[in-house]
C-alpha cells in the first residue's frame, strides 16, 4: 500500500462548476411561467373592463361617424357613413362652444370650492375634540352617501321661492333662484359642493394624520400661524394627495349631469344652464340626433383623457422627486 504524498494532499482542489439545469422550451421555462402568472390573475378583471369600457367606447366612436337618428334606431333606414361630418357640424355650432366654456368655468368653480372647503374642514378635524370630530365626520359621510337625485331635490326645496327656508331667512320674498343664469349655477354649485367636499376632507385628513406631529409642534413653537403652517409644511407634504383629489374632482365636476338636469329642469330657461353632459343628452335623446350626442361624448372623453394623462405625468414626476 502506497503512503500518502503530503505535497499532493496539500494542493488546492478546484471546485466543479454547478451543473446547468436542462434547457427547456420557451413555453416551459420557469421565467416565462412566472411572467405570465400576474396576467392570469388579472385576466378576469381585464375581461370585465373590456366589456364595460372598451366595447361601449367603441360603439360611441362608431356612432359618431355615422348618420344615426330615430329612423336608424327603428331599423327603417340603413346607417350611412358621415366621416367627420358630425364633428364638423358640432364645431361649427356656436352653442357648443358656449356650453363648453360654461362647463369649464362651472367645473373650475366647483373644484376650487370643493378643495377649499374640504381642506379647511380637514384641518378643523385635527383641532377639535373627539365628539365634534365624530359628528362632523358622520354628517359629511351622510352627505357623501346621499344619492345625487335626492340631494338635488332637497336643494331645490331649500331655494324654492314659495316654501323654501332660504328666501324666508334672507328676506327675499318670492325671488326665484332658478330663473337667473348665474343664480341657478350658484345653487347647483352649492349642491355639488355639498356632496363632493367629504371626499376631499376625509382624504386630506388622513394625509395630515400621517405628518409627524413633531414637525407641526416645532413650527407652532417658532410662532408660525396656522395659515403659514399649512402653506409651508402641510401643503408640500400633502402634494401627492392634493394632486389626486384635484384630478378626481375635475373629472367628477366636468361630467356633472344629475344636479344640473334636476335642479334646472333640463338645462334652464332657453338652455342657459347647459353643461356638456346635459347638452349631449338633449342632442341624443330629446332631438334624436344620436350621432351628434355621441360626438359630444367623444369630445368629453378626449378632454378627460388629457386630464388623466396630466395626472399620471404629475404623479410620475412626484415619484421621481421622492
Task: Give the CATH number of the domain where residue 283 resides.
Answer: 1.10.3720.10
> Is 318 inside a domain boundary?
no
Cα 253 off chain centre by: 8
Predicted confidence at residue 300, as pLDDT, reads 93
Sign of the dihedral defined by the CA atoms of residues 10, 14, 18, 19, in that order: negative
> Is 164 inside a domain boundary?
yes
> Is 303 inside a domain boundary?
no
- Give residue 147's domain range: 98-298
Using CA atoms, how far apart are residues 230 and 306, in angstroms rounded to an integer? Answer: 30
pTM: 0.80
> Is 19 inside a domain boundary?
no
Quick one: average pLDDT of 222-238?
Answer: 83
> Is 92 inside a domain boundary?
no
Using CA atoms, how far apart are residues 75 and 79, in angstroms rounded to an integer? Answer: 9
> Is 15 inside a domain boundary?
no
Using CA atoms, how far apart are residues 291 and 273, in angstroms rounded to an integer? Answer: 23
Total domains, the chain: 1
Q: Residue 52 corresponds to which cell in the numbers above?
A: 364595460
Using CA atoms, how far apart are residues 226 and 179, in angstroms rounded to an integer? Answer: 41
> Is 26 inside a domain boundary?
no
- Using a 10 angstrom Cβ sphere, with 0-12 exposed, 13-18 middle and 19 or more buried, the burial of residue 2 is exposed
Ranges 59-73, 81-95, 196-210, 281-295: which has the least confidence: 59-73
Binning pLDDT at 50, 70 and 90, where does residue 31 land?
very low
Binning pLDDT at 50, 70 and 90, where does residue 33 land?
low
- Provide φ and ψ at 66, rounded to 5°: -115, 165
Nearest to 202 by CA among 143, 278, 286: 143
> Is 67 inside a domain boundary?
no
pLDDT at 105 over 90: yes
Using CA atoms, how far apart are residues 316 and 310, in angstroms rounded to an integer? Answer: 10
Amino acid at each position: 500500500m502506497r503512503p500518502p504524498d503530503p505535497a499532493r494532499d496539500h494542493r488546492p482542489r478546484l471546485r466543479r462548476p454547478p451543473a446547468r439545469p436542462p434547457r427547456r422550451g420557451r413555453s416551459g421555462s420557469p421565467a416565462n411561467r412566472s411572467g405570465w402568472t400576474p396576467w392570469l390573475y388579472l385576466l378576469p378583471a381585464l375581461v370585465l373592463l373590456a366589456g364595460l369600457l372598451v366595447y361601449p367606447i367603441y360603439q360611441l366612436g362608431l356612432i359618431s361617424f355615422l348618420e344615426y337618428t330615430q329612423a336608424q334606431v327603428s331599423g327603417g333606414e340603413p346607417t350611412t357613413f358621415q366621416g367627420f361630418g358630425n364633428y364638423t357640424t358640432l364645431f361649427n355650432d356656436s352653442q357648443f362652444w358656449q356650453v363648453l366654456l360654461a362647463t369649464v368655468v362651472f367645473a373650475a368653480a366647483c373644484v376650487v370650492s370643493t378643495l377649499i372647503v374640504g381642506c379647511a374642514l380637514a384641518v378643523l378635524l385635527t383641532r377639535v375634540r373627539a365628539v365634534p370630530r365624530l359628528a362632523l365626520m358622520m354628517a359629511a359621510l351622510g352627505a357623501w352617501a346621499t344619492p345625487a337625485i335626492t340631494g338635488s331635490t332637497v336643494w331645490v326645496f331649500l331655494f324654492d321661492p314659495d316654501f323654501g327656508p332660504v328666501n324666508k331667512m334672507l328676506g327675499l320674498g318670492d325671488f326665484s333662484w332658478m330663473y337667473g343664469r348665474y343664480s341657478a349655477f350658484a345653487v347647483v354649485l352649492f349642491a355639488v359642493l355639498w356632496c363632493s367636499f367629504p371626499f376631499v376632507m376625509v382624504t386630506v385628513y388622513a394625509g395630515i394624520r400621517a405628518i409627524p406631529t413633531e414637525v407641526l409642534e416645532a413650527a407652532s413653537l417658532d410662532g408660525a400661524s396656522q395659515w403659514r403652517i399649512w402653506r409651508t409644511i402641510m401643503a408640500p407634504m400633502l402634494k401627492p394627495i392634493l394632486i389626486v383629489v384635484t384630478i378626481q374632482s375635475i373629472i367628477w365636476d366636468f361630467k356633472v349631469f344629475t344636479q344640473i338636469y334636476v335642479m334646472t329642469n333640463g338645462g334652464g330657461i332657453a338652455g342657459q344652464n347647459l353643461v356638456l353632459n346635459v347638452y349631449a343628452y338633449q342632442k341624443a335623446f330629446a332631438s334624436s340626433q344620436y350621432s351628434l350626442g355621441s360626438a359630444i361624448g367623444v369630445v368629453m372623453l378626449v378632454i378627460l383623457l388629457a386630464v388623466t394623462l396630466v395626472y399620471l405625468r404629475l404623479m410620475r414626476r412626484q415619484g421621481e422627486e421622492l
